[in-house]
C-alpha cells in the first residue's frame, strides 16, 4: 500500500528542484523580467553541480558551482535583454535551447559516473530540501517587507514611474535575473546530485517549464510557489507509486498527469480572472516589456 | 520675498530639437509660480532638469542659495525638490503606503509611516487609507497620494505638472486650498497648466514659454486669459465661432440603455438622451464614471437591447461598429494610441480603420491604396496635421497632431452623428481650438455631435445642452446657457467625499 508519510517525504524531494527554480523566476518576474530560459539554466546547474561534486567529492561545492553556472547563463540573458534590448521571450527560449545543447556537449565525459552521496540533515531530509523550504519565507519577507523588495516590485509594476522616482531599473532587473539564474542552477543540481545521482543529457526533462507555469499558478506569491511545487511534486510521486503498485492505468496517461494538472490549474486561474472577483490581477504591470530610459 | 529656486541660462538640446534655450526664472518662498506654454514649448524638459531626470547642457540652477545640479531624482529629492507628475507615477498593484514609501529617501517603519500619512492627510483635508491598493482609487484620490508623497518630504520647491486635468472643480478648489496652505508655510510652488483661468485665479506670477524660450514673466491677474493665450501661442487666439446653428429634428434617440460592467468597468444604468440635428450635447463627468462605456455603447463596441439606440428611426442597438458607421453614426474614442489609431500603422493605413467603407477605400474586399492615401492627405490638409506625410506612423505624431488626425478622419466622413470622448485631452491650446471649431462647424452643417469630456470649460464653450455622467447614470440635460461651474460640479457629484482643507492653527 501507499504510505502517506513516505509519499510526503518523496514529494518534498520531487518538489525541491521546481521550488528553487520557481522562486528564482518569481523574483525575476516581480522585477518585470520574463526569463523563459529556466530550463536552460537548470540543466546548466545540473551539469556544473554534478561535475564539481564528482571531481571534488563535495556535494556542497557542487551546489555552489551549480548556482554560479546558473547565474552565468542568466547574465547572458541579462546582457542581451537589458543592454542590447533583445526580445525577452525569444531570448529566453534561445537560452533554454542553448543550455540544453551546451550541456549535451560538455556533459559527455561525465556520463555513467556516480555522484557523491548527500549528507542527511534534520529529520532525515537533506539540507537542500531545508534550504528550499527556508527560501519561501525569506523570499516572501524580502519582497513584501524589505525596502529593496519594495523597489524591486515597483520596478516590475511600472518601470517608467520607478525610473521617474530615480530607481535604477536596469540594475535592479539584472540583480533579479542573476538571482533567478542561481536558484534555477540549484534546482537543476538537485536533480543530478540528489535525485538521479548521475548525469544524463536533457535530464531536467521539462522541470524548468513547470517552474514557469508554477509562477503564474502562484500568482507571483512565494507561498503559492510552495503550494504549486508540492502539488506537482505530489502528482509526480503519486504517478510513480501508482505505476509501481501496478494500477491498471496506461503508463503514458500517468506520466502526463503533472503536465495535465498544470494546464488545468492555469486555465482555472485565467477563468477566474476573466469571470470575476480578482480585481487588478497579480501580474506585474511591466512584465516582459523592454525598458528604454531617456536621458 | 526670498528666492527659493533660481535658474539662469538653462539650455538643453535633443537631437534635432532645441528644447530649452537660455531659460531663466526664479520662484520665491511662499509663491505659486505658474509655468505656461503649449505642448512642446519646453515645460517638461525644464522641470525634468530641476528634478534631476535630465541634465542641462548649459546654465546653472540654485536652490536656497546653494548650487543645484542633481544627477538623479533621488538627489533632487534629498535637496528638497518634490514633483507631482502629469501622468501619475504610481504603482497600481502596491498600496498607498508602499507608493508613498517609494517616494521617500528614508521611509520610517510601516506602522509609523501609516500614522504619519493619516496625520498629514487629516491636517490637509485629504483623507486617504494607507492600506488601500492604488488600483482601487479614483483619479482624485490618486493625486492625493502623489501630493502626500511630496508633502511627507517637507519640500522647499514643489513642482506640479498639470495637476487639475483629472479633477472636478470642487476637487481642484481643495487642491488650491492645500497649495495655498503650503505656500503660506514657505514652500515655493512651480505650477504647470494649460488652464488659464485657474492660473489667473490662483497663481502669483506666471512665466510663459514658447519654442523653448522665456517669453516673459507676468502677473497673471493683470492679464486676461486671451492675452495670456496670445503670449503662449505667439499670435491672437481665434475665438470659436458658435454661430450658424439651429437644432433640427431628433437624429439620435437613446432610451433605457443599460450595460453590464465588464472588466472592472462601470455599468451604464438606464441612459436616456435625445440629440437633434445641428446640436452639440456635452457630457461631463469625472473619469471612470462610464464615459468609455457610453462611447462603446454608442459606437457599437458594446451591443445593447433592441430599441435602445435609434438613429433617424433605424434601430442600431444590436449592430456592431461597422454597420453603425455605414448608417452614419461615427465615433472617436479617448485613447488615441491603441483605440482610435494603431500606433505602428501609417496614417494612410489608419484611415482604413474607420473610413474604409464610407470613403470607398475598400471595394469588393480589396484596399484601394491610392484612395486611402488621398483621404489621409485630405485629413492632413483640412486639419493642419503636422507630419512629414501620410506614410508616417501614427505613433510618431505628437498627441495633438494625432488627435487632429483622428477627429478629422471622422469629421470628413460626413457623419450624421459624431460621438467624441475627450477630444482635446493633452492637446495644446492652438490645436484644441481648431478641433473645437471643427466640431462646431460639423454641427453647423447639420450633424448631431456628442462631446464627452472632463474639461468643463470646453463643454461650456461647445455644447448647447449639458448632462453629467455619474457612476453610469446620466443626469437630465440642462441648457448650457447660464449654467455655472458650481452647479456643474454639484451635478458631477461634488467632491467625492472630500472635506475642504482647513488651515491648522
**For chain B, percent helix, then strand, then coil, each to nearest 5?**
35, 25, 40
Q: How far is A167 from chain B (nearest CA, A)?
A: 8
Q: How far is B33 from chain A (nearest CA, A)?
A: 23
Lowest mean pLDDT among A24-33, A44-53, A163-172: A163-172
The mean per-residue pLDDT over the stretch B282-307 comes to 85
- Closest partner residue to B102 (CB to CB) among A154, A160, A294 is A154
Instruction: Please answer yes or no on whether B93 and A160 come within 8 Å at the CB atom.
Output: no
Q: How far is B99 from chain A (nearest CA, A)?
A: 8
Q: Is the pLDDT of residue A278 over 60?
A: no
> Of B324, B305, B301, which Cα lies nearest the Cα of B314?
B324
CA-based nearest residue in chain A for residue B110: A145
CA-based nearest residue in chain B for residue A160: B89
User: Between chain A and chain B, how many beta carbons pairs sit less than 8 Å apart?
Assistant: 65
Are residues B108 and B116 in contact, defined by beta-carbon separation less than 8 angstroms?
yes
Provide the pairing of β-strand B157-161 with B58-63. Answer: unpaired
Give, in order, the Cα–Cα distances in Å from B489 to each of B170, B223, B234, B456: 6, 26, 33, 9
Are residues A11 and A234 in contact, defined by beta-carbon separation less than 8 angstroms?
yes
Asked if the C-beta of B336 comes within 8 angstroms of chain A's C-beta atoms, the answer is no
Q: Report which DSSP code applies to B95.
A: B
Q: How far is B31 from chain A (nearest CA, A)?
A: 25
Q: Please state, rounded to an integer, the average pLDDT across all residues of chain B.
A: 82
Provide the pairing of β-strand B188-192 with B157-161. Answer: parallel
The mean per-residue pLDDT over the stretch A245-265 comes to 74
B490 vs A11: which has the higher pLDDT: A11
Asked if the C-beta of A112 comes within 8 angstroms of chain B's C-beta atoms, the answer is no
Q: Which CATH number is correct for B250-491, 2.30.42.10, 3.40.50.2300, 3.40.50.300, 3.20.20.70?
A: 3.40.50.300
Are residues A33 and A152 in contact, defined by beta-carbon separation less than 8 angstroms?
no
Distance in angstroms (rounded) separating the CA atoms of residues B280 and B464: 6
CA-based nearest residue in chain B for residue A161: B89
Instruction: Please answer yes or no on whether B91 and A158 come within 8 Å at the CB atom.
Output: yes
Annotate B230-292 with DSSP letters as a single string.
Answer: HHHHTSPPPPP---S----SEEEEEEEE-----TT-----SEEEEEETT-EEEEE--TTSSHH
Nearest 10 degrees: Cα torsion B454, B456, B457, B458: 50
3-class SS of residue B456 = helix
The mean per-residue pLDDT over the stretch A98-107 comes to 92
CA-based nearest residue in chain A for residue B55: A295
Instruction: Please answer yes or no on whether B136 and A151 come within 8 Å at the CB atom.
Output: no
Q: Is the pLDDT of residue B69 over 50?
A: yes
Instruction: Please answer yes or no on whether B93 and A161 come within 8 Å at the CB atom.
Output: no
The mean per-residue pLDDT over the stretch B241-265 comes to 77
Instruction: Please answer yes or no on whether B93 and A284 come within 8 Å at the CB atom.
Output: yes
Asked if the C-beta of B131 comes within 8 angstroms of chain A's C-beta atoms, the answer is no
Q: B458: alpha, beta or left, given left = phi > 0 and alpha = psi -120 to 50?
A: alpha
Instruction: Please answer yes or no on whether A154 and B94 come within 8 Å at the CB atom.
Output: yes
Name residues whose C-beta falls within 8 Å of residue A1's C-beta, 6 or more positions apart in sequence. Answer: A245
Distance in angstroms (rounded) separating the CA atoms of residues B281 and B463: 5
Q: φ, ψ for residue B133 (rounded to 5)?
A: -80, 140
**A111-146 confidence digits (pLDDT tens):** 888 878 777 777 878 888 999 999 999 999 999 888
3-class SS of residue A92 = helix
Instruction: Please answer yes or no on whether A158 and B107 come within 8 Å at the CB atom.
Output: no
Q: Is the pLDDT of residue A277 over 50?
A: no
Distance in angstroms (rounded) separating the CA atoms of residues B325 and B320: 9
Distance in angstroms (rounded) separating the CA atoms of residues A179 and A186: 11
Q: B206: alpha, beta or left, given left = phi > 0 and alpha = psi -120 to 50?
A: beta
> Of B475, B472, B446, which Cα lies nearest the Cα of B459?
B475
Asked if the C-beta of A285 comes within 8 angstroms of chain B's C-beta atoms, the answer is yes
Give, in order, the Cα–Cα distances in Å from B326 to each of B292, B375, B467: 22, 17, 27
Q: Is the pLDDT of residue A216 over 90?
A: no
Alpha helices in B412-498 (DSSP H): 429-444, 456-462, 485-491
Are residues B197 and B38 in contact, defined by beta-carbon separation less than 8 angstroms?
no
Q: How far is B241 from chain A (nearest CA, A)?
A: 41
Q: What proportion of chain B, given as a percentage, has pLDDT over 90? A: 4
Distance in angstroms (rounded) separating the CA atoms of residues B2 and A61: 65
Asked if the C-beta of B112 comes within 8 angstroms of chain A's C-beta atoms, the answer is no
What pLDDT is stored for residue A173 in this prediction? 94
Are residues A238 and A245 in contact, defined by beta-carbon separation less than 8 angstroms?
no
Q: Is the pLDDT of residue A77 over 90?
A: yes
**B451-462 confidence digits (pLDDT tens):** 998 777 788 888
The mean per-residue pLDDT over the stretch B88-100 comes to 84
What pLDDT is stored for residue B237 in this prediction? 53
Instruction: Please answer yes or no on whether B73 and A282 come within 8 Å at the CB atom.
Output: no
Q: How far is A22 from chain B (nearest CA, A)?
A: 21
Are residues B413 and B355 in contact, defined by beta-carbon separation less than 8 angstroms?
yes
Asked if the C-beta of A158 comes within 8 angstroms of chain B's C-beta atoms, the answer is yes
Distance in angstroms (rounded) separating the CA atoms of residues B226 and B241: 15
Asked if the C-beta of A150 comes within 8 angstroms of chain B's C-beta atoms, the answer is yes
Provide the pairing of β-strand B157-161 with B81-84. Answer: parallel
Distance in angstroms (rounded) separating the CA atoms of residues B88 and B67: 29
Kindly list the residues from chain B whose CB atom is less than 8 angstroms away from the CB atom of residue A160.
89
B203 vs B122: which has the higher pLDDT: B203
Kindly list the residues from chain A whose CB atom is less than 8 angstroms away from the CB atom of residue B74.
165-166
Q: Is the pLDDT of residue A1 over 90?
A: no
Grid coordinates representing B87? 501622468
CB burial of B183-203 (b: ≥16 within 10 Å; e: otherwise) equals: beeebbbbbbbbbbebbbebb
Are residues B161 and B47 in contact, defined by beta-carbon separation less than 8 angstroms?
yes
Q: Is the pLDDT of residue B361 over 90?
A: no
- Closest partner residue to A164 (CB to CB) among B53, B93, B133 is B53
Kindly list the residues from chain B whose CB atom is less than 8 angstroms away from the CB atom of residue A165.
73-74, 89, 102-103
Domain ranges in chain B? 3-233, 250-491
A98 vs B178: which has the higher pLDDT: A98
Distance in angstroms (rounded) separating the CA atoms of residues B97 and B253: 47
Distance in angstroms (rounded) separating the CA atoms of residues A193 and A113: 11
Kindly list the residues from chain A whose CB atom is less than 8 angstroms away from the CB atom of residue B53.
164
What pLDDT is stored for residue A140 in this prediction? 94
Residue B315: strand pairing partners:
B310
**B215-227 confidence digits (pLDDT tens):** 888 888 888 877 8
Q: Please state, rounded to an integer, the average pLDDT across all residues of chain A.
A: 86
| Domain B3-233: top CATH class | alpha beta
**Interface list for A 6-25 with B (CB within 8 A):** none
Name residues whose C-beta falls within 8 Å of residue A263's C-beta, 6 or more positions apart in sequence. Answer: none
Q: How far is B144 from chain A (nearest CA, A)?
A: 17
Distance of CA B450 to the CA centre of its chain: 18
Q: Is the pLDDT of residue A217 over 50?
A: yes
A149 vs A260: which has the higher pLDDT: A149
Q: How far is B83 from chain A (nearest CA, A)?
A: 9
Q: Is the pLDDT of residue B261 over 80?
A: no
Are residues A237 and A14 in contact, defined by beta-carbon separation less than 8 angstroms?
yes
Q: How far is B314 from chain A (nearest CA, A)?
A: 34
Asked if the C-beta of A161 comes within 8 angstroms of chain B's C-beta atoms, the answer is yes
Asked if the C-beta of B48 comes within 8 angstroms of chain A's C-beta atoms, the answer is no
- Closest partner residue to B135 (CB to CB) among A160, A166, A280 is A280
Instruction: Please answer yes or no on whether B94 and A279 come within 8 Å at the CB atom.
Output: no
Asked if the C-beta of A155 comes within 8 angstroms of chain B's C-beta atoms, the answer is no
Lowest mean pLDDT among A153-162, A170-179, B87-96, B276-285: B87-96
Distance in angstroms (rounded) separating the CA atoms of residues B250 and B256: 17
Asked if the C-beta of A157 comes within 8 angstroms of chain B's C-beta atoms, the answer is yes
CA angle B233–B234–B240, rounded 5-degree value: 50
Name residues whose C-beta falls within 8 Å of residue B279's C-beta, 6 or more positions apart in sequence. Answer: B245, B247, B443, B448, B449, B464, B465
- Closest partner residue to B89 (CB to CB) among A165, A284, A294 is A165
ipTM for this prediction = 0.77
Kindly list the residues from chain B whose CB atom is less than 8 angstroms away from the CB atom of residue A157.
91-94
Q: φ, ψ for residue B2 (rounded to 5)?
A: -90, 145
Distance in angstroms (rounded) separating the CA atoms of residues A276 and B7: 53
Distance in angstroms (rounded) separating the CA atoms of residues A126 and A120: 4
Kindly list the residues from chain A whose CB atom is less than 8 angstroms away from the CB atom of residue B54.
294-295
Residue among B51, B77, B91 with most chain A CBs within 10 A, to mutate? B91
What pLDDT is stored for residue B265 in this prediction? 66
Distance in angstroms (rounded) separating the CA atoms of residues A286 and A159: 6
Side-chain-side CA neighbours of A74 within 13 Å: the count stands at 33
Grid coordinates representing B455? 474639461
Asked if the C-beta of A147 comes within 8 angstroms of chain B's C-beta atoms, the answer is yes
CA-based nearest residue in chain B for residue A277: B264
Rg (CA), chain B: 24
Q: Report which DSSP code applies to B337.
A: B
3-class SS of residue B455 = coil
**B178-198 confidence digits (pLDDT tens):** 888 888 888 899 998 777 778
Q: Report which DSSP code applies to A288.
A: T
Residue among B89, B109, B288 with most chain A CBs within 10 A, to mutate? B89
- Closest partner residue to B73 (CB to CB) among A150, A166, A282 is A166
What pLDDT is stored for residue B214 in this prediction? 87
Are residues A217 and A223 in contact, defined by beta-carbon separation less than 8 angstroms?
no
Q: What proportion of chain B, given as a percentage, has pLDDT over 70? A: 91
B298 vs A239: which has the higher pLDDT: B298
Q: How far is A131 from chain B (nearest CA, A)?
A: 29
Domain ranges in chain A? 16-212
Q: How far is B92 from chain A (nearest CA, A)?
A: 7
Q: How far is A144 from chain B (nearest CA, A)?
A: 10
Name residues whose C-beta falls within 8 Å of residue B184's C-beta, 6 or more positions apart in sequence. Answer: B30, B503
Distance in angstroms (rounded) separating the CA atoms of residues A233 and A132: 14
Distance in angstroms (rounded) separating the CA atoms of residues A159 and A153: 10
Distance in angstroms (rounded) separating the CA atoms of residues B246 and B143: 41
Kindly list the residues from chain B whose CB atom is less than 8 angstroms away from the CB atom of residue A280.
92-93, 133, 135-136, 264
What pLDDT is stored for residue B262 in this prediction? 62
Grid coordinates representing A102? 551546451
Amino acid at each position: 500500500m501507499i504510505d502517506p508519510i513516505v509519499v510526503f517525504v518523496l514529494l518534498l524531494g520531487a518538489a525541491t528542484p521546481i521550488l528553487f527554480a520557481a522562486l528564482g523566476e518569481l523574483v525575476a518576474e516581480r522585477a518585470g523580467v520574463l526569463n523563459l530560459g529556466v530550463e536552460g539554466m537548470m540543466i546548466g546547474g545540473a551539469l556544473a553541480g554534478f561535475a564539481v561534486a564528482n571531481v571534488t567529492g563535495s556535494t556542497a561545492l557542487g551546489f555552489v558551482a551549480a548556482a554560479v553556472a546558473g547565474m552565468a547563463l542568466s547574465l547572458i540573458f541579462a546582457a542581451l535583454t537589458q543592454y542590447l534590448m533583445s526580445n525577452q521571450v525569444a531570448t529566453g527560449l534561445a537560452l533554454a535551447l542553448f543550455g540544453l545543447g551546451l550541456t549535451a556537449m560538455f556533459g559527455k565525459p561525465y556520463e555513467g559516473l556516480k555522484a557523491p552521496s548527500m549528507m542527511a540533515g534534520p529529520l532525515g531530509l537533506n539540507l537542500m530540501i531545508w534550504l528550499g523550504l527556508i527560501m519561501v519565507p525569506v523570499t516572501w519577507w524580502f519582497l513584501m517587507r524589505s525596502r529593496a523588495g519594495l523597489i524591486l516590485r515597483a520596478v516590475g509594476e511600472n518601470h517608467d514611474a520607478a525610473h521617474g522616482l530615480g530607481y535604477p531599473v536596469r540594475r535592479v532587473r539584472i540583480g533579479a535575473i542573476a538571482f533567478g539564474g542561481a536558484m534555477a542552477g540549484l534546482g537543476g543540481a538537485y536533480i543530478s546530485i540528489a535525485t538521479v545521482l548521475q548525469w544524463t543529457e536533457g535530464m531536467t526533462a521539462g522541470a524548468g517549464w513547470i517552474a514557469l507555469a508554477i509562477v503564474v499558478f502562484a500568482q507571483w506569491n512565494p507561498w503559492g510557489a510552495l503550494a504549486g511545487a508540492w502539488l506537482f511534486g505530489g502528482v509526480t510521486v503519486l504517478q510513480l507509486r501508482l505505476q509501481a503498485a501496478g494500477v491498471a492505468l496506461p503508463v503514458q496517461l500517468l506520466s502526463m498527469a503533472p503536465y495535465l494538472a498544470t494546464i488545468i490549474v492555469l486555465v482555472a486561474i485565467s477563468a477566474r480572472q476573466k469571470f470575476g472577483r480578482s480585481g487588478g490581477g497579480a501580474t506585474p504591470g511591466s512584465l516582459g516589456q523592454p525598458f528604454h530610459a531617456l536621458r | 520675498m526670498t528666492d527659493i529656486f533660481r535658474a539662469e541660462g538653462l539650455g538643453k538640446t535633443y537631437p534635432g530639437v532645441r528644447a530649452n534655450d537660455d531659460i531663466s526664472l526664479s520662484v520665491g518662498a511662499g509663491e505659486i509660480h505658474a509655468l505656461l506654454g503649449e505642448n512642446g514649448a519646453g515645460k517638461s524638459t525644464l522641470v525634468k532638469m530641476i528634478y534631476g531626470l535630465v541634465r542641462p547642457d548649459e546654465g546653472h540652477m540654485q536652490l536656497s542659495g546653494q548650487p543645484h545640479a542633481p544627477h538623479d531624482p533621488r538627489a533632487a529629492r534629498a535637496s528638497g525638490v518634490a514633483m507631482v507628475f502629469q501622468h501619475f507615477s504610481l504603482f497600481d498593484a502596491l498600496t498607498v503606503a508602499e507608493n508613498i514609501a517609494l517616494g521617500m529617501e528614508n521611509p520610517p517603519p510601516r506602522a509609523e509611516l501609516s500614522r504619519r500619512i493619516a496625520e498629514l492627510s487629516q491636517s490637509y483635508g485629504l483623507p486617504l487609507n494607507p492600506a488601500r491598493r492604488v488600483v482601487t482609487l479614483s483619479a482624485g484620490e490618486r493625486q492625493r497620494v502623489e501630493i502626500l508623497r511630496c508633502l511627507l518630504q517637507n519640500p522647499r520647491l514643489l513642482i506640479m505638472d498639470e495637476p487639475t486635468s483629472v479633477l472636478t472643480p470642487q476637487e481642484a478648489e481643495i487642491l488650491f486650498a492645500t497649495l495655498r496652505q503650503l505656500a503660506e508655510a514657505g514652500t515655493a510652488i512651480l505650477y504647470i497648466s494649460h488652464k488659464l483661468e485657474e492660473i489667473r485665479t490662483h497663481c502669483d506670477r506666471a512665466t510663459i514659454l514658447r519654442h523653448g524660450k522665456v517669453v516673459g514673466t507676468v502677473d497673471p491677474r493683470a492679464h486676461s486669459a486671451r492675452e495670456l493665450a496670445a503670449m503662449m501661442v505667439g499670435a491672437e487666439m481665434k475665438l470659436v465661432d458658435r454661430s450658424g446653428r439651429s437644432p433640427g429634428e431628433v437624429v439620435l434617440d437613446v432610451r433605457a440603455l443599460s450595460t453590464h460592467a465588464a472588466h472592472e468597468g462601470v455599468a451604464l444604468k438606464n441612459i436616456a438622451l435625445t440629440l437633434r440635428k445641428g446640436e452639440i450635447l456635452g457630457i461631463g463627468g469625472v473619469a471612470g464614471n462610464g464615459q468609455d462605456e457610453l462611447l462603446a455603447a454608442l459606437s457599437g463596441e458594446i451591443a445593447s437591447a433592441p430599441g435602445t439606440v435609434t438613429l433617424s428611426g433605424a434601430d442600431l442597438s444590436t449592430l456592431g461598429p461597422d454597420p453603425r458607421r455605414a448608417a452614419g453614426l461615427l465615433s472617436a474614442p479617448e485613447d488615441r494610441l491603441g483605440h482610435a489609431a494603431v500606433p505602428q500603422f501609417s496614417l494612410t493605413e489608419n484611415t482604413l480603420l474607420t473610413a474604409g467603407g464610407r470613403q470607398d477605400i475598400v471595394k469588393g474586399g480589396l484596399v484601394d491604396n491610392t484612395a486611402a492615401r488621398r483621404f489621409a492627405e485630405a485629413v492632413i490638409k483640412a486639419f493642419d496635421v503636422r507630419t512629414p506625410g501620410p506614410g508616417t506612423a501614427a505613433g510618431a505624431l505628437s498627441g495633438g497632431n494625432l488627435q487632429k488626425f483622428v477627429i478629422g478622419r471622422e469629421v470628413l466622413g460626413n457623419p450624421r452623428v459624431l460621438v467624441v470622448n475627450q477630444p482635446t485631452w493633452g492637446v495644446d491650446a492652438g490645436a484644441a481650438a481648431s478641433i473645437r471649431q471643427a466640431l462646431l462647424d460639423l454641427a453647423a452643417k447639420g450633424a448631431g455631435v456628442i462631446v464627452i469630456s472632463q474639461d468643463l470649460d470646453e463643454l461650456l464653450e461647445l455644447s448647447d445642452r449639458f448632462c453629467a455622467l455619474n457612476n453610469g447614470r446620466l443626469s437630465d440635460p440642462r441648457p448650457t446657457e447660464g449654467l455655472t461651474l458650481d452647479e456643474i460640479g454639484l451635478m458631477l457629484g461634488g467632491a467625492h467625499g472630500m472635506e475642504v482643507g482647513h488651515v491648522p492653527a
